[in-house]
Structure formats: C-alpha cells, structure tokens
Structure 1
Amino acid sequence: MTGNARLLIAGVVVASTLVGTLPAYALAAPPPTAQVQDQDPTRFDQDGHVVSGGRSPQGKPAKEGVTALVNAPITRSEIRRRAQSWIDARVMYDQESWYRNEFGRYRQDCSGYVSLAWGLDDSYVTWTLPPLMHRVAAADLKFGDVFWRDNMTDHSNGHIALFSHWADAAKTQPVVWEEYDYGHVASIRPWSAAYASEFIPMRYNNVIEDVAAPTPMTREGTQALEVGEAQHFFGKVGNKIRHQWWVPDHKLRDDWGGGDVAGEPTTFLFNDQQHLFYRSANGSLRHFYYIDGRPAPLDDFWANGGSITGDPTSLVIGDTQHVWAVGANGRLQHWYWAERLGAAPLHDEWPTGVTVTGRPSVFVANGQQHAFVRGTDGSLQHSFYIEGRGKLTDPWAPAGSIVSDPVALFIGDTQHVWATTANGRLQHWYWAERLSPDVITDNWASGGVVGRPSAFSVDGQQHVLVRGAGKTLEHYYYIQGRSLPDHDTWATGGVTTDPTAVTFGSQQHAFVRAEDGTLRHFYWFQGIDTTEDNWGA
C-alpha cells in the first residue's frame, strides 16, 4: 500500500508557499452563454499544449478567449465517482488518444481527466478552463477542487490536477488525482510543498456540496476508520490515544486524549466528522471529535468520573449517536445524543440477567438495537430495545460459557455472536426467526485461540480474526454452502493485542500491536496474498 512517489513533474522545483498570478478574467464567474468551437484531434505536448499547426487540442483553430457552455451542477461525490473510473481502469496518459466509458469520451491527459471528472461537455485544455472556475484559499480546498497553472501566453507550463486531501497537518503537501505524463496511468499521488506552491487552488463554478444524510450503521464502531483515501487507526499507547493514519505513500500520527486513557477506544464517522470515545482513568466517558479545518480535536464528557468500568462501544443510528459501556454497578449503561434531543447526552440503563463486565458489542436489526455483553459468571448476556415494547433481555449462553468479550454482527436476517471459551475454542452463536425459536451454536476453532475476536461480513461471507495462543493472528471464514468454516493464518507470531478487523471497500484489513509496540497492518483483496506493512509505534 505504499510506494515511491514521483514528486516533481517535468523536473520543476519551486518555492514553498502557494502563490501565483491568474489573469483577471479567470477570477470571475464565466459568462452564461460562452461557447467553444467543435474541433478535431491534433498533436500537443504532455499537458495538452499545441506543439504544431497553431491548433487547439480539438484540432480546429481556436478563438482566443472563447470557452464552452457553463456545464451542469455536479456534486463532489459524483466528481469522485467519475474520476475513480479512470483510476480503476488504469487509463494511460496519451494526448492523442481518447478514452470512452459510461461517462463519455475524453482526451487522456491532465485537462481531459479534469473535464471527465467535472462532467464537462468536451475535453478542455488548461487555458480554456479558467472561466469555468474561481480561486479559493488553499486551506479551504475540498475533494474535486483543483491545482491549476498556466502562464496564459505560450502555455508551456500548463498543468491541472484534482485535489484529494492534505498529507500533512500544515496543509502544504496535497494528495492529488491526476493524469501527468507518458508512461503513467491515472494516479493518486502526493505532491511536495515546493511543487504545489507553483499552482493556484481553484474550484469549479458549478460544484455543489453533497447533502449530508446520516446513514444507519449495521454494525458497531471499531478502532479503524476509512475517510476518503485515508485509513485511520486509534489505539491506547500509554495514557493517550495514538492516532495513526495512512494516505497514499504516507504514514502519519498524532495523539488524542487528555492523558487519562484507561482502555481501548471506539470510533465512528458521523457527518464526515471523526468521533472517538474512551474510558478515562477515573471512570468517566470521554468524547473527542475532529471537524475538518480545526487545528485539533474537540472534546467533552458524556459521563462523569466513576460512571464506567469497561471500555465503550458505539453505534450511529440515523441522526443519533449511541454509546454503551458497563457501569460501576455492573449493569449495562447506554448514552445517546442527537442535536434535536438537546445539548447534553441522554442516559438509561439496559437490563441483563446478571452483573456484566468487559466491552459490549452492538448492532441494529430490523430497527431494533441489540447489545451482547459477558456476564461476570461467564455467561453471554443479550439485551435489546424494541420500539413500543421497551428494553428486554435474554441469555444466549449459560454461566461458564465464555472468557472473552463477544463480537456481534447482523447479516441478512441472522444475528451472529462469537467469543472464545476457557478451553481455547472460538464459539459461534446465531439466531434467525426462520431457523429456530432457540439460539443455535457451533464451534469454529477447536482450540488454541484467546482474547476478543473481531468480525466483519463481505459478499455474504462471515469473517472472524482472533489472536492465537502462540501470538499468531488466525483468520476463520464461512462461505455459504460449505459445511465448515475455512481457516488461514495471517501472522505466525508477535501478536500482542486483540485484532481490529474491518473492510475498506472490497479490501479486508486487520490491525494488531507487535511486541515492540508498533502497529502491524494486514490486508487482503482479490488477486493478492495477505500482505503486511508496519505503521510504526
């Protein structure tokens, strides 16, 4: 997932601040009825500039200062979808070729790629694009904006690239999506601050923001998040939360928390904000959240000291944030907040058959909220909320059944729970109304596993990663139609923490700590073997 990045284009090295001069007409909104001539192919240099014949990239003599009709409004998510199509297809840079897909036919160079992404009616060049865009502050750039340059005389330095995100907190090193040179495909690449400083940050006049609509999650928050191209992991290191994240060709880190962290956090993404909850040393429930553009995360308390003894878990349901944790009284506590409900989180207690301990696991099934938690007697306790009926409870496994905290998933119409047992087995419980009135159980590993499993579902398959007794990372997965789960080993040793397993798109990922405290990251997707890289301490 890492590689060497080519940071200089055409060997240019420049100063270190974003500066540039844009012709005055290009700073204004485009005239509403400006048009461009229909033209034919010809020969250009590597960024679409004419090298013979005095013609435009479409082939016929171009009228100076004439541009195309203002094109239709487009959301940033649609820009991403269109631009991603060339990344996925590995479209090769070639100014004399046009690539056609479901989004149309566009020239295979830098400005052709931006024309595709913005849904323009033709393949523009760097000097005909300015009337369609306006300048913005670099710190305000969002996905789908661009870095642009052109001297507007001989166009010898013209280039344009889609902005994705910043690779550094100072917002000087952008990661861009671009077509940039012969021999290369449409790529996601970081730029150096020096190279970026030669470009002007610009925004398409007709871009519109996506309407933020919270999407109910079908599974709980974990310690890992995907935000755009960035992959994030949050874990306890000392008395702080170490935040480590990967963007193409970069691994970064910072620390969250108030220096009072007592356990592992839970995280989720809500309206593009990163939210994190953890148990503090004095038993309070602390909440940190990051809003893009802020210099640091904000924080508040959801429960005062002495409130919880176990690590929290979380879930987003519609517009409401939910957190569960075991309270000091040995009962399952629940906090929830939505802007429409008021300024402070609300709280209630959920019933369990016995006192409970550890970290719960939660999901939503058919509009119902379900929580599973380990009883102090080793039972598997189930507590759930049904609108109109209130909070109910039933045990899924009797005393002495489990020694680890459970992990739960809702897949299709079936509720699933996994936990490890005293004899080292990976035990699986599941229930669906169509299968049986009773909970069904089977054994996925006959011995040798320890700790809390982590699970996900992809393409209808059930996947569980769990720590082996020999500090291995074991992977069990069930494919519909097979009689037993399959198994492979992702790490043969050196694993010291319970895994966090997630899917990012179609990729399967797992994170664990190594004996030296560094973060080991494993990933698999179709066509490659399980691969490991180390994200550092």
Structure 2
Amino acid sequence: MSSRSRTSLRLTAIATVAAAMAFPLLNAPTAHAASTAGGPITRGEVLARAQSWVDEKVPYNQSGYKTDANGTYREDCSGYVSMAWHLTDSLTTWTLPNVSTKIGFSQLQGGDILDYTDAHTFIFNKWTNKANGDFTYYAESNPNNPTHGPTAANINNASIEGWPTSYYGAYRYNHIVNDTTAGIGMWNPSDHYFHLRNSLSAGPNDKDFVFGATGMTPVTGDWDGIGSDGVGMYDSANHTFYLRNSPSAGGNDYTVSFGSAGDIPVVGDWDGNGTDTIGVWRPSNHTFYLRNSNTAGPADKTFVYGADGMQPLAGDWDGVGADGVGMYDDSTHTVYLRNGTSAGGNDYTISYGTPGDIAVAGDFNGDGKDTVSVWNPTTHYFDINNSNTNNDPSTRFVYGATGMIPVAGDWDGQ
C-alpha cells in the first residue's frame, strides 16, 4: 500500500496454515495540524483551505487580495491555488509548475491541480468514479463564477472550466503529503467474517460482514481510487482475485485471474496513480509479479526479492505516492524494505516484533508514510510502530482472536 494519496497504506498478514496476507492503500482527505508557509502540507489541509474560501464566498478579483486565517493571497485562480498550497506568495499559472511536478491525469489525488499555464488553474478534489473519469474540483474562475466547489466534471470531457481539457497539465505540489490513517480489522477463516475498526484500538467493531471462503486469503485496497479501501480475497488454488470496492458483503466488482497456484497475494499502488492493483509473490523462486491494473494479463513488473520463509510486504515507505516492496523474516523478526518495486539492496532493515508475529503495514498516524507493525496470534497484541526504525511500539492493544488474520485499511475514507 495511498498515497497516495493517495494514499497510502498497505498490509500483509500471513496465517500459519493459509499463508494469508493483505496490503491496503489509503488516500482520502482529512485536515491535520496547520502547516507553515512553503513547508510540507497534507492533502487534507489543502482541501480544507480550498473549502474555506468557498465558505467565505471570496469573490474573483485579479487585482484584489484576501486576508484571513490562511494568510494574504490574490483573489484569482492561481492565487487560490497558492493559498490552498500555503505558498509564501501568490504565484501565477505559469510559475506554479516551478513548485510542483507534472504527473499524469490518472495519478491525480486530492490537492493536486490541473494547470493551463497560459490562462487557468484549478484544484483537484477527488475521483467520484475513476473508471468513468468522474471527479470533483475547486476553482476561482471569473467574476461571474467566483470561488466554488466541490464541482463535478469528467476528465474525458472536451473542455473543463471553459478551456480544452488537452490544454491542461496535471501537477503535484512538491511539499504535499498524504494524510489518511489506517484502521485495523480481522478476517475469520472459520466463518468468513470481516471485523473492521476505523481506529487503532480494541473495542466494538464498526463493520461486521461475511465475504470470502475457506482457503482464501484476505486483501484490502483502494481498487477504484476514490480514497477509501474495499476488501477482497485471493484464492491461491485457482490463482484468482475477488475484489469489492467497498468494505461490505456483496458481489465482486473485479474477478481477476493472476499468478499461479501457491502464490501469495500482494496489492499496492505500484505506479503512483492513486489506485491499488494486484500482484503476487512466488515462494518457489522468490519473485514478485505486479500488475498496474485490476485486469488479467502479463505482469508489468517482475523481479526477484526475498528468501525462503519470508512474508512479502508492500507500502509507501518514503511517502512519494507509489509503493515499494518488503519482506518480513518471522524467524529473526526482521523487516527488510525497498522504496521501489525492483530487486536490489534494502533501504531499511529493522528488527521489530517477536517470533510468531504477523507483519501488518499501513499509515497508522497519517504522516503519509507506511510503516510495519505486528500482530501476535497467541497474545492477540497489535504493536503499532509509526516509524520504520527499531523503536518500541507507539501503540499496543489487544484485538482479534486465535485463528484470525489481521487486515488494515481506510474503511471510512478518513
């Protein structure tokens, strides 16, 4: 597993018999602590700042400036983006690319922008149906259409905001970070129930429902890129993924044959476009096979990583918006992580947990980076670690029961 934004969370959970695991991604806007001008800012804060000008009914005025709790910024389209990004000054449509990186339309996440450098820019809010191209946005357009949003549009339309869609480029602020947090949950192989919590604590479940079947492995991820995670199952016997866009019982939104019998599922946002897609790790040859879409077909990435007896992981360890891979060696309770999806040396080597633990990865504190935590099947302790270091757990609580398989995900999009 994002980031992100889409972020971005990923999880792995391997049961003793089923060798089960899951890796979700998180990517939804929630305002966090206020940023400083020109510094890192969460996607949630960008969108909260954008909404504040809608609430204040700020007019459009290319020569006027608005002063409020957000600072002082010009009352036009690029001044609006500058305010939302909390820049040190009001930039223009042709200078906003100086503080951002161009991305593909499919990679857009909340707080990114579409910018026609000669004339207009607006703020991407979220996908409402990514497969169809539907999304919402915020904009300062003209004196007759001042600050507004969230406004519906479609990325496939010939024009948006009065200009040809082909004139726009998608850009991501260089200091933006994902800001969603993972909840935890369990899947019970004996009765096929998911038990999900929106927070990191013991207590009543927020969702309980049946999904999957005996012998399957639970997975979670943001399959449709809208900012909250759905659930899924992987049947290793027939190497098929069954995925639901929501955390609920019901029919499958995607049924995808991928991999080979005996493979272990991994899911993540491999190309940084805000949508989680399928993959497998093959224990027999230590090879990852990853797909950039939730469809059958050849792997988009294939590489060797890991060793016998290890558990594969996926997560946005460095907060860049795309997932890397990792391995958990239960016998030595050591975590090995790579920032990319390739073979090579480890970017992080961490001692964490105790023998017998199941590794679980996710963005548990909303800082835009996935970290590796563990669940103990005997004591039922979740030990949540919010940094990829040898730190003691930041949070410990009892959750689940013997025989269950831990999962993590952003079930409520917050």
Asked which structure has the greater RCO (Cα within 8 Å, sep 6+), the reply is 2
Is the radius of gyration larger for structure 1 or structure 2?
A: 1
Is TM > 0.5 for Structure 1 vs Structure 2? Answer: no
TM-score class, shorter-chain normalisation, is 0.3 to 0.5
Give the strand-richer structure, 1 or 2: 1
Task: Give the TM-score normalised by structure 1.
Answer: 0.34
